[in-house]
Structures are given as structure tokens and as C-alpha cells.
């Protein structure tokens, strides 16, 4: 969509220090664009590392104007608010960016071309509504089960459990080893990073599995396909995991879990996260449907230990490895070797 040399700033007002900033965190970690700054007035004058402890020496600015002065060419909405709606209080700063000639990356459900497109004035300036689906998709027919490759679905115990991060880290590690590997983005961060994909939660429910199937079949020449996970079977507000399972017909799964969490995130924090060994069996059973579909084997745990010190993180990894009898690692803190080895040996 954009030239990788174009400079990017990330709008994260009020979100740099909480989970709603996951789009911004993903861009900081994986984007090929030079990121000249993050906008969050609460931490202005600091770096991201100084503000929230993440390993990025990216400066934090108070206003959009501050990043424009430093040559920003693209502004990305780094926040994923509940419901994916564009709040009215963002109108002024984002309008300022567009009037100044910046392009916009919008990962929300709202169509910002319709809302703000009249502010575009420069040649090559665009608003990329990442979550805009195709007009229609085919109905799934389990064709992916006929492929001879490995299809790895990232599943989670909750929303924002690290499915995209673990999947991209695994993809990069396999690619570095010279393995013919593909990645199917299914959410706004993955699509933004890869330049294409399927905005799963914006697709009609009857076509969702077909959209996944189509994307997997398009990458059928790869020996391994990593499918970005969405939602969770444990979450009462999520419908995304089932079409991912049906469409991709996974041969393998990796369970992603936030080590510090015992309950689902707000607003359903009254619901405890199931024991991981039982939850693994649930995902595998749903995939297999009493033996009528191909079997999907969980090969490892991608544990998100953010917020824990090294000692507590190590204890959590050891406890979960013993409970599940599966290789368990934090792909950010430790690396992907355990998961790569498990995938290549199964």
C-alpha cells in the first residue's frame, strides 16, 4: 500500500500504557516503516522505553503537529477501542494530519474515506481503511483439508493474548531458516504489516470460513502456512475462532495465553480462563468434530509474560509446560526455538 521508506507516526492518545494500544505495539515491533514518533500527551517528552518499558527508543510527542514538524508522511491509528469505532474526539487531530498531507492507516471498522476523504488534497495521499472486506466470499467446503502442507492456527485463551505477535515471530523464524512459509493475516495489524489479508471480523458470518479458506488456498504452494488467530472460544463475545478452524482446516495449533491473567479481560472479567489442558482439548475437539474432520494437534504454548519479572515468568512457563506437557515459551522474551522445533518435528 505504501513505500516502506515513508516515515510513520502512530496515534496512541491515552493508550500507550494499556491493551487498547495493541495496533501501535504491533507496528512498533514489526513495521518496515521508519517510525518517527508516537502521540500520547501523557508521556510526551519520553521515549516509549522510558514511558512503558517496551524496548523501543521511539520518542513520544504531545500533538500530531509535533510529528508533522519531524517529517511524518503517514499517521496510523494505533488504538483498538471497544467496538472498533472512531471516537469524535479524534476528529480534530486526525483532520489536522490529513489537511497537512499525511496519509492515514485506519484499522477501525468505521469507513474513514467516507468520513474524512474530503480532506485529501495531495497526489498519492490516501486513507487506507484496512478492515474493508471484499463484496463477497465463497462458502467454505473444507478444501484446505486436501492440502499436503502444514497449517498452523494460532488460538488464544482471550482477546489480545499475543496471537498475532507469536504468529509473526514464528513466520519470521521459519523464513530465516529458508522454509517456504506463508502468513495469512486476519486482523487489522497483520493486514497493515503484510499489505493484504482478510478483515475477518468485518465479513458476514456465513462467508467468514470461506474467506479464510480462500486465503489459505491462495498460499497452497507453501510448505507451512501460519494463520493469524482472532478471538477465543472462551470469550462470550467472540465468533472468530470457529471460521478460522473451519476455513483453514489446521493440522497444528499453538495456544497463546497471557501468563498474568486468570480471568478474561474487561468487560467480561467475571469469567475465569479455563484450565489450559482442558482448553486445549476443547479446541482440538472442535477442530476434529468427533472425527469427521481432520485432526489438529496442539504443539506448543506461546506464553505472553508481559508484566512479570524474569523469575515469575520462568515459574509460569515451567508450571504451564508441566500442566500441558507441551513446549512453552515467550516468543518475545525468550524466542521461538521451542515452537519451531516442535512444528518441524510433528
The owner of cell 469524535 is 88
In whole angstroms, what is the distance from residue 8 CA to residue 71 CA? 9
Binning pLDDT at 50, 70 and 90, where does residue 171 land?
very high
Beta bridge partners of 253: 153, 298
| Mean pLDDT across 112-139 | 95
In whole angstroms, what is the distance from residue 73 CA to residue 123 CA? 13
The answer to whether residue 136 is domain-embedded is no
Residue 125 pLDDT > 80, yes or no?
yes
The answer to whether residue 3 is domain-embedded is no
Cβ atoms of residues 101 and 125 within 8 Å = yes
End-to-end CA distance of the chain: 36
Binning pLDDT at 50, 70 and 90, where does residue 262 land?
very high
Helix (H) or strand (E) holding 210, with range, is helix 205-218
Output the domain CATH number for residue 293: 3.40.50.300
Output the domain CATH number for residue 117: 3.40.50.720
Rounded percentage of the chain residues whose pLDDT exceeds 70 = 99
User: What does the block give as the cell for 227?
Assistant: 494463520
Residue 184 pLDDT > 90, yes or no?
yes
Residue 307 pLDDT > 90, yes or no?
no
In whole angstroms, what is the distance from residue 153 CA to residue 225 CA? 8
In whole angstroms, what is the distance from residue 45 CA to residue 333 CA? 27
Domain that holds residue 284: 143-344
Same domain, residue pair 160 and 123? no
Q: Which of the two residues, 173 and 84, has the higher pLDDT score?
A: 173
Domain boundary at 104, 129, 154, which?
A: 129
Same domain, residue pair 84 and 158? no
pLDDT value for 24:
96
Rounded to two decimals, what is the model's pTM? 0.92
Amino acid at each position: 500500500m505504501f513505500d516502506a521508506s515513508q516515515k510513520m507516526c502512530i496515534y496512541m492518545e491515552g493508550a500507550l500504557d494499556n491493551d487498547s494500544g495493541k495496533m501501535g505495539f504491533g507496528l512498533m515491533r514489526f513495521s518496515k516503516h521508519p517510525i518517527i514518533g508516537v502521540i500520547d500527551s501523557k508521556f510526551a517528552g519520553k521515549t516509549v522505553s522510558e514511558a512503558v518499558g517496551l524496548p523501543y527508543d521511539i520518542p513520544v510527542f504531545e500533538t500530531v503537529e509535533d510529528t508533522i514538524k519531524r517529517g511524518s508522511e503517514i499517521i496510523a491509528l494505533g488504538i483498538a477501542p471497544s467496538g472498533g469505532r472512531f471516537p469524535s474526539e479524534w476528529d480534530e487531530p486526525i483532520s489536522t494530519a490529513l489537511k497537512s498531507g499525511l496519509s492515514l492507516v485506519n484499522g477501525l471498522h468505521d469507513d474513514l474515506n467516507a468520513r474524512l476523504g474530503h480532506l485529501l488534497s495531495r497526489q498519492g495521499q490516501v486513507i487506507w481503511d484496512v478492515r474493508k472486506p471484499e463484496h463477497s466470499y465463497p462458502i467454505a467446503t473444507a478444501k484446505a483439508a486436501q492440502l499436503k502442507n502444514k497449517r498452523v492456527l494460532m488460538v488464544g485463551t482471550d482477546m489480545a493474548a499475543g496471537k498475532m505477535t507469536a504468529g509473526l515471530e514464528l513466520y519470521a523464524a521459519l523464513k530465516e531458516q529458508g522454509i517456504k512459509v506463508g502468513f495469512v493475516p486476519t486482523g487489522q495489524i497483520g493486514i497493515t504489516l503484510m499489505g493484504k489479508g482478510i478483515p475477518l471480523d468485518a465479513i458476514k458470518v456465513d462467508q467468514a470460513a470461506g474467506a479464510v479458506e480462500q486465503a489459505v488456498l491462495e498460499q497452497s504452494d507453501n510448505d507451512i502456512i501460519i494463520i493469524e488467530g482472532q478471538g477465543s472460544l472462551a470469550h462470550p463475545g467472540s465468533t472468530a475462532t470457529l471460521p478460522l478452524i473451519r476455513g483453514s482446516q489446521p493440522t497444528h495449533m499453538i495456544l497463546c495465553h497471557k501468563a498474568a491473567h486468570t480471568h478474561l479481560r474487561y468487560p467480561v472479567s467475571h469469567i475465569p480462563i479455563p484450565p489450559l489442558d482442558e482448553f486445549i482439548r476443547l479446541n482440538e475437539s472442535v477442530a476434529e468434530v468427533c472425527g469427521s474432520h481432520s485432526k489438529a494437534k496442539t504443539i506448543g504454548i506461546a506464553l505472553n509474560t508481559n508484566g512479570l519479572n524474569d523469575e515469575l515468568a520462568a515459574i509460569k512457563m515451567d508450571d504451564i509446560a508441566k500442566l500441558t506437557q507441551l513446549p512453552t515459551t515467550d516468543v518475545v522474551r525468550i524466542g521461538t526455538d521451542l515452537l519451531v522445533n516442535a512444528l518441524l518435528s510433528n
